[in-house]
Structure 1
Amino acid sequence: MHRSSRTAALLTAVATLALGAFALATGSDPAAAHGAAMAPGARTYLCWKDGLTQTGEIRPNNPACAAAVAQSGANSLYNWFSVLRSDAGGRTVGFIPDGQLCSGGNPGFSGYDLARTDWPVTHLTSGQTMEFRFSNWAHHPGTFYFYVTKNTWSPTRPLAWSDLEDQPFLTVTNPPSVGSPGTTDGHYYFTGTLPANKGGRHIIYSRWVRSDSQENFFGCSDVTFDGGNGEVTGIGSGGTPSPTPTTPTPTPTSPSPTPTSSPTMPPPGGDCMAVYQVVNAWPGGFQGEVMIMNHSSRTWGSWTANWTWPSGQTLTQIWSGKASTSGSSVTVTNESYNGTLAPEGTTTFGFLANAPGTNTLPTVTCTGR
């Protein structure tokens, strides 16, 4: 049994990511629900894809994505599926302010409200039927609403409610899904017809209104109506096309490979969610980080995280948490100063570990009390 604690040397030697935390009154259901538009891709989703690296860090190449992360922090991309308001309850105009539609008024994602012309963009054909996809990071009943901007809208100004056509062009309730919730490929899918008489740059604005709680999700998908079939440009070095099928299929196409060091989360369904990521790596070792998120309606006084190393890794140091190990099993509990977490609050602990071979990512579970 090994036990170690945070040291002052590590605090000065290791830079941890800034995490945006906000506390909002939740509805009646404490279970976590997460999702964002994947086709056409929302800004957070496409920026996440743009910034993936082999070490698990997210370093955007696209200048608009980089500006968003500079304002909102990298946590906004590690949690690309979490542009939410827990107290929305279906409210729109007068609740989400003009200029904050893309973030849903969530301060942790304010960088994605920036008025820029260089966001990753999906190429579409006006009036065409296509398959829409929406992440089901957590599966819940509800209705999806999709709007498009008026022809008078310009990408040089922040999106306002008056910039959207008066009615959604697509509304879908409880669509089917494929893939496993809590993974990057699981998603709802449904067929819809794109708005007619559109050309050039627009935003497709999405709302997911849960029917079992007050939690709602929001997102902006930058598109251009130029005769395209779902190709995505502005991602990575020079932009890599990513076609979207125009007809529905019960089996999703294979997702882009996820780096072995990218963040992992357990399938949601409880009040506590843990996000594990590799921050830095070197031969034989690495620096990791785990974010604990309180998705309940109660304030916690303490929390515990658990995982089992899958490929021989061993913990050597930890900070902002207290660790105990037994063989390949690791248990981390809070320090006295970071055990209290309000609803929708987050905290992070970091660690150093040895990795003698392939650094396969563990699945982390957590509980709050």
Structure 2
Amino acid sequence: MKIRRATVGHSIVVGLIAAVVAALIPATTWAHGALLTPGSRTYLCYKDGLTSTGEIRPTNAACQNALAVGGAQPFYDWFGVLRSDGAGRTTGFIPDGALCSGGFTKYAGFDAPRNDWPLTHLTSGAAFNWTYAAWAAHPGWFYLYVTKDGYNPNQALTWADMESTPFLSVDHPPLNGSAPTGNYYWGGNLPNKTGRHVIYSVWKRSDSTETFYGCSDVVFDGGNGEVTGIGGGTNPSPSPSVTTSSSPSASASPSASVSPTSSTPAPTGACTATYSIVNTWGGGFQGEVVVKAGSAALSGWTVKWTFANGQTISQLWNGTLTASGSSITVKPVSWNSSVPAGGSVSVGFLATQTGTNAVPTVTCTSP
């Protein structure tokens, strides 16, 4: 292992309850890692949101917003901010405003410019023990960048905000343990900074072009790795991901739409459902259906709609999908089948589109 500006330190084992978590994740996962110390946005929001029943219910306001924008699946897949065609590329490949999502629409909620993300407290220039989750282990290089002086967390993060070269680069560090509970570890000094910043991680595999990206929100105030901003919080309206004028070559890159388009709720039985278009990009879009109970609690629910323009759902979370041509039926999973009176649950999905993307009328029924 070769480390630039760093020496190998002792390992830090970060506890991940992998066996339990694996049983709780409701959809197939295919990705492989993220910074644990200092924790990435996706990892710390996952820690903040995961409940004992396996549901995602964040208390941090920024994490709540990410849930509202993208649903729960990005939290379960906190280790999945990757580009299969990345080849280590950064500037000019990942669009401005989409650094934290890696240009991957699924994680667009984590690009929201906010000053209330979970925060790791650090000491400028100090020696630090870095750990990076190895949910699936792969050989490669790690590159750590930091924002320039004067970084403003309330503005969209762009490449112009980042220092042009990594402050720390690591060549094939050792692995402590084994996937999925293991982690890569190394020692290396923190950058000489003051105040609020983002540490941006890039993991470039040496056995493929797959590359992982992530944002860790930090403040250089003399701390030693303490995390604040998890707990408390409110239930805000969603802050949209940033509209970008350019996009990477992969088809999953976001390019616009920050305003959802909703159908009129159609009450049938004891519940109503609202369909929204959350995000659109060339050839695809992200949608959401919110199921709301009336004056009585729901002990189950079913929503149905028919696409008019050949749309096809490729991925759905927080529900069970049955598709027959253009006819869509979604039923709950075990943990969101019951909805209290006046309460609501949401189902998110990714779908393909060509041309017109009309908003369908959705019906909701309850046993």
TM range (shorter): 0.5 to 0.7
Find the residue that maps to 2:170 and give its secondary structure: strand
Residue number in structure 1 paired with 2:126? 128
- The correspondence for 1:217, drawn from 212, 221, 241, is 212
Find the residue that maps to 2:188 and give its secondary structure: strand
Residue number in structure 2 paired with 1:360? none
Find the residue that maps to 2:150 and give its secondary structure: coil
TM score, norm. by length of structure 1: 0.56
Does 1:195 find its partner at 2:191? yes
Find the residue that maps to 1:212 and give its secondary structure: coil
Preserved contact between residue 205 and residue 218 of structure 1 (Cα < 8 Å): yes
* TM-aligned CA distance change 1:32 to 1:78, over 3 Å: closer
Residue number in structure 1 paired with 2:199? 204
Aligned positions of 1:154-233 closer than 5 A: 154-183=152-181, 186-196=182-192, 198-233=193-228
Residue number in structure 2 paired with 1:366? none
* TM-aligned CA distance change 1:66 to 1:164, over 3 Å: same
* TM-aligned CA distance change 1:61 to 1:191, over 3 Å: same
Separation in 1, partners of 2:54, 2:155: 33
Separation in 2, partners of 1:130, 1:320: 46
* TM-aligned CA distance change 1:75 to 1:68, over 3 Å: same
**Aligned amino acid, residue 106 of structure 1:** F
1:184-236: CA deviation from partner (whole Å, max 9, x where unpaired): xx21110010111x111000000001111111110000000000000000112
Moved over 4 A (4+): 318-321, 347-352
* TM-aligned CA distance change 1:351 to 1:115, over 3 Å: closer
Residue number in structure 2 paired with 1:55? 53
Residue number in structure 1 paired with 2:349? none
Residue number in structure 1 paired with 2:106? 108
* TM-aligned CA distance change 1:194 to 1:76, over 3 Å: same
Work out the number of aligned pairs and report it: 225
Aligned positions of 1:1-369 closer than 5 A: 33-183=31-181, 186-196=182-192, 198-237=193-232, 350=333
Residue number in structure 2 paired with 1:244? none
Preserved contact between residue 33 and residue 212 of structure 2 (Cα < 8 Å): yes
Q: State the 1:160 CA deviation.
A: 0.6
Preserved contact between residue 320 and residue 350 of structure 1 (Cα < 8 Å): no
Separation in 1, partners of 2:55, 2:33: 21
Show structure 1 runs of 5+ residues with no match.
Answer: 1-16, 22-30, 239-285, 288-317, 322-334, 338-346, 353-369
Q: State the 1:179 CA deviation.
A: 2.7
Identity within the alignment, %: 57
Preserved contact between residue 31 and residue 82 of structure 2 (Cα < 8 Å): no
Separation in 2, partners of 1:348, 1:164: 44
Separation in 1, partners of 2:31, 2:140: 11
* TM-aligned CA distance change 1:336 to 1:90, over 3 Å: same
Larger RCO (CA within 8 A; separation ≥ 6)? 1
Separation in 1, partners of 2:177, 2:100: 26
Show structure 2 runs of 5+ residues with no match.
Answer: 1-24, 234-298, 301-318, 336-367
**Aligned amino acid, residue 119 of structure 2:** V
